[in-house]
């Protein structure tokens, strides 16, 4: 890549990093470092790429002095380097490359929206504990209430990793809740297969001026919508496996004869190979 300009190199690096499968960003970055072979360029040029990846992929960090995790989100971005943890009412500095936090500062809560945000946060935490073994939920408030959910499952010993992301938005007092669910799975034993699925969703939660009632209704509909999507995805995958994928496999070689691999030397090609 030595003949390319620095901008061209960073553009290629960006493409690789932003397409990194769940849990494999560091592996991809280490491969890119070998490919580019320019530590100075990467040190000065990849921070913004890591930030974009972290926000898009709902990467989680632990705020300073806290035990819970928070999702890094554009809805929680305060300035160029600081992000909000709405649960503890503090902002903090983020190192996007190392995914570490520091320098916490308290912020004031929004008295009008905080009761709704807090109620939804508590209801979401219970939902996550019941349905997402490694899940995190964060609720942001502002012009609208935003619930983000992420569930990661990393299993490199068996050559697969996966990530569930969903985001739900609504206005206080509205009866409509809009969502987007995205699933990414990477399987890489003796191959490289990726599953990507997404779906826009809209559910009706009724209208309530009581924050607890609102949160209960919202999570009930979210749970149903996400379960329906998961079940539909499982059914579709089963159909693909038994239908389209099965049709792509040849039951017998073109000779219509099965190969006895233990006696491969008896075949002409085996003889030719073994004689050399």
The CATH architecture annotation of domain 114-244 reads: Alpha-Beta Complex (3.90)
Q: Where are the domains of the chain?
A: 1-56, 58-108, 114-244
Rounded-to-integer distance, Cα 64 and Cα 244, Å: 50
pLDDT of residue 224: 98
CB atoms within 10 A of CB 96: 21
Identical fold between 1-56 and 58-108: yes
- How far apart, in Å, are the Cα atoms of 276 and each of 119, 183, 207, 243? 74, 49, 79, 42
Count of beta carbons in the 10 Å neighbourhood of residue 151: 19
> Is 155:161 a contact under the CB 8 Å cutoff?
yes
Q: What's domain 58-108's architecture?
A: 2-Layer Sandwich (3.30)
Can you give the pLDDT at residue 31? Answer: 93
Q: Which residues of the chain have pLDDT under 50?
A: 264, 269-276
Q: Contact at 8 Å (CB) between 117 and 75?
A: no
| pLDDT value for 251 | 59
Q: Give the per-residue pLDDT at 271.
A: 45
**For 122, phi and psi rounded to 5 degrees?**
-65, -45
Give the length of the chain.
276
Q: Report the pLDDT value the prediction gives residue 241, as an integer from 0 to 100.
A: 65
pLDDT of residue 275: 46
Please report which helix (H) or strand (E) contains residue 202, including its range.
strand 193-204
Please give the pLDDT value at position 142: 87
The fold of the 1-56 domain, in CATH, is Ribosomal protein S3 C-terminal domain (3.30.1140)
Residues in contact with 207: Cβ distance below 8 Å, sequence separation at least 6, in sequence order: 173, 174, 175
Predicted pLDDT at 191: 81
């Amino acid at each position: 890549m030595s003949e390319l300009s620095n901008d061209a190199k960073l553009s290629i690096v960006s493409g690789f990093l932003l397409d990194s499968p769940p849990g494999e960003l560091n592996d991809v970055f280490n491969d890119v470092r070998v490919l580019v072979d320019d530590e100075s360029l990467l040190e000065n040029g990849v921070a913004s790429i890591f930030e974009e990846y972290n926000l898009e992929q709902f990467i989680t960090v632990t705020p300073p002095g806290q035990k819970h995790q928070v999702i890094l989100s554009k809805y929680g971005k305060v300035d160029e380097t600081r992000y909000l943890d709405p649960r503890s009412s503090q902002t903090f500095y983020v190192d996007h490359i190392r995914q570490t936090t520091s320098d916490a500062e308290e912020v004031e809560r929004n008295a009008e929206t905080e009761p709704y945000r807090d109620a939804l946060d508590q209801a979401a935490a219970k939902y996550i504990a019941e349905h997402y073994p490694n899940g995190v939920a964060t609720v942001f408030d502002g012009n609208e209430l935003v619930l983000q959910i992420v569930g990661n499952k990393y299993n490199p010993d068996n050559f697969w990793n996966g990530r569930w992301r969903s985001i739900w938005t609504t206005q206080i007092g509205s009866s409509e809740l809009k969502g987007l669910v995205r699933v990414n799975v990477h399987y890489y034993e003796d191959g490289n297969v990726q599953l990507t699925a997404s779906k826009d969703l809209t559910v009706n939660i009724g209208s309530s001026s009581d924050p607890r009632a609102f949160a209960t209704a919202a999570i009930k509909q979210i749970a149903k919508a996400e379960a329906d999507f998961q079940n539909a995805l499982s059914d579709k995958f089963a159909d693909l496996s038994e239908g389209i994928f099965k049709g792509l496999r040849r039951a017998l070689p073109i000779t219509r004869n099965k190969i006895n691999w233990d006696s491969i030397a008896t075949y002409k090609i085996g003889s030719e190979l073994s004689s050399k």
